[in-house]
A and B are shown apart, each in its own frame.
Chain A
Amino acid sequence: MANSVQELIASRASKELEDGQVINLGIGIPTLVAKYVHTSNIFFHTENGMLGVDDVNEEDIDPNLVNAGKIPVGETRGASFFNSADSFGMIRGGHVDVAILGVLQVDESARIANWAVPGKNIIGVGGAMDLLVGAKKVIVTMTHISKDGKSKILKDCTYPITSTRSVDTIITELAVFKYINGQLHLVELMPDITLEQVIANTEAHFVNSL
């Protein structure tokens, strides 16, 4: 179950979305973003071959209608289904407006690591690399600090990077950062958070643009 920190991050991420956009949501916190979107004019895309993902009630669950996290979903009016090559053609061809992704680490140049951990078997990548390369805008939703208390916003990622592309926006439970002209800018503090808390928990250098 999602906790209040995850809900806070998801709710803030939803404010980045604009009417008419096509959005791809990753697994974890990104999935929660959909419930904070209150317009029918935003279209959710999922890698396994669907545009027009919607919530589903327990009694309407169809085992053959799932999202990329293999979670049952519903379909909106005007939804469509397509094969995996067409689905990734949409992503890689630059037709998806925004990807919202979970990450393990992000570095000073807004490059992310979210697919492999050193010392563990590297046996899964899914659509992460495709989304990084193809989405017009990439928003990262993440907790600011790892379970062992270390900053996840680092000078350099210590885990293998997912792409050489820099993400556009980073949203944590402490702050919002934007990557502008090759620098990470702190643009917003989350409610009841101080600048000192953000500085203390962020290893990467950033420009204070509050």
Chain B
Amino acid sequence: MKIYESAREALSCLESGQTVMVGGFGLVGGPLTLIDTLVELDVTDLTIISNNLGEKGEGLGKLLNQKKVKKAIGSYFTGNRDVGEAYQRGELEIELLPQGTLAESIRAGGAGIGGYYTKTSVGTDLAEGKETKVIKGEEYVFEEALTADVAIIRAHMADKLGNLIYYKTARNFNPLMATAAKTVIVEVDKIVEVGELNSDVIVTPHLFIDRIILAKKILTQEGVVEHG
């Protein structure tokens, strides 16, 4: 685990063609500093695993408009009209998953599980081509686990070992993605000394975390602003 001064240095491990998990539910809990830096990097053909693909021209939406995203895996891309248009033009592959399946597949990936059966999506268009199995009289569909080369996530506070705590609904996918990538980069509002976080409230233990930066962009009522 290492604390980095800049987002650019922290993201130096990222290469074209890799799979990247991006935390957040819309902008809430999104690693806004890391996303904005990712947009400036010369990496392409990325597979992005994230609930949404930013908003039109914002966050991951910028990366999409730069044609750096080869494939998006998530549950709700409807909020960004550019996603539908890029998909229509054949510039973007989409793998749409029910939100619970997205979350569970990341959890499974982080826990060394190859896949699992769920009742969600059975009998719908999203189950087409997927293996099904009857367990105790009920039909289930097989879903593969998800893992990534790099995860970029957001937490509220880290100590210098990399233990993390989160803030309200900014938690969402972040603790899951922290477990499921080879390199996990987190941006936080505050870094404190080891021992300052109560051991009982630490959500993500430090063994999952590789790189930390201080957030330079925060979400306010007026939108995303620079701070510090």
Contact A83 B170 (CB under 8 A): no
The smallest beta-carbon distance between B129 and chain A, in angstroms, is 14
* Closest beta carbon of chain A to B23's beta carbon, Å: 10
Q: Of A48, A50, A63, which is within 8 A of B220 by CB? A: A63
Using CB atoms, name the residue of chain B closest to A128: B98
**B172 contact set on A, CB distance < 8 A:** 48-49, 83-84
Q: Is the interface of B mostly helix, strand, loop or mixed?
A: mixed
CA distance A127 to B123 in the complex (A): 16
Closest Cβ of chain A: how far from B183's Cβ, in Å? 20
Contact-residue bracket for chain A: 35 or more
Among B78, B102, B168, contact of A123 (Cβ-Cβ < 8 Å): B78
Q: Is B152 an interface residue (CB 8 A)?
A: no
Instruction: State in angstroms the CA–CA spacing of A87 and B173 once bound together.
Output: 10
Bound form: Cα–Cα A162–B98 in Å: 10
Contact of A167 with B by CB under 8 A: no
> B68 near A: Cβ within 8 Å?
no
Interface residues of A in 49-103 (CB under 8 A from B): 49-50, 61-67, 70, 75, 81-85, 87-89, 91-92
- Residue from A48, A67, A122, A123 within 8 A of B125 (CB atoms): A122
Q: How far is the CB of B163 from chain A (nearest CB, A)?
A: 16
Return chain B residues, CB-CB under 8 Å to A82: 171
Q: Is A130 an interface residue (CB 8 A)?
A: yes
Per-residue CB proximity of A109-144 to B under 8 Å, as 1/0? 000000010001111111111100110000000000
List of A residues within 8 angstroms of B87 by Cβ: 121, 123
B103 and A87 contacting across the interface, CB-CB below 8 Å: yes
A47 at the interface (CB under 8 A from B): yes
- Minimum CB–CB distance from A132 to chain B (whole Å) comes to 8
Chain B CB within 8 A of A160 CB: yes
Q: A62 vs B120: C-alpha distance in the bound complex, in angstroms?
A: 32
Q: Are B103 and A160 in contact (CB under 8 A)?
A: no
Q: Is the CB of A124 within 8 A of B168?
A: no
Within 8 A of B (CB), among A148-201: 160-164
Q: Does A123 lie within 8 Å of B96, measured CB to CB?
A: yes
CB within 8 Å of B: which residues of A?
A: 46-50, 61-67, 70, 75, 81-85, 87-89, 91-92, 116, 120-130, 133-134, 160-164
| Given A64-B28, A81-B169, A123-B77: 16 more A-B contacts, CB < 8 Å | A46-B169, A47-B99, A48-B169, A81-B166, A81-B171, A83-B174, A83-B203, A84-B100, A92-B118, A121-B88, A123-B87, A125-B96, A126-B76, A128-B98, A129-B126, A163-B124
- 9 A/B residue pairs, CB under 8 Å, sorted by A: A47-B100, A65-B168, A81-B171, A84-B102, A84-B172, A123-B96, A124-B76, A127-B100, A129-B126
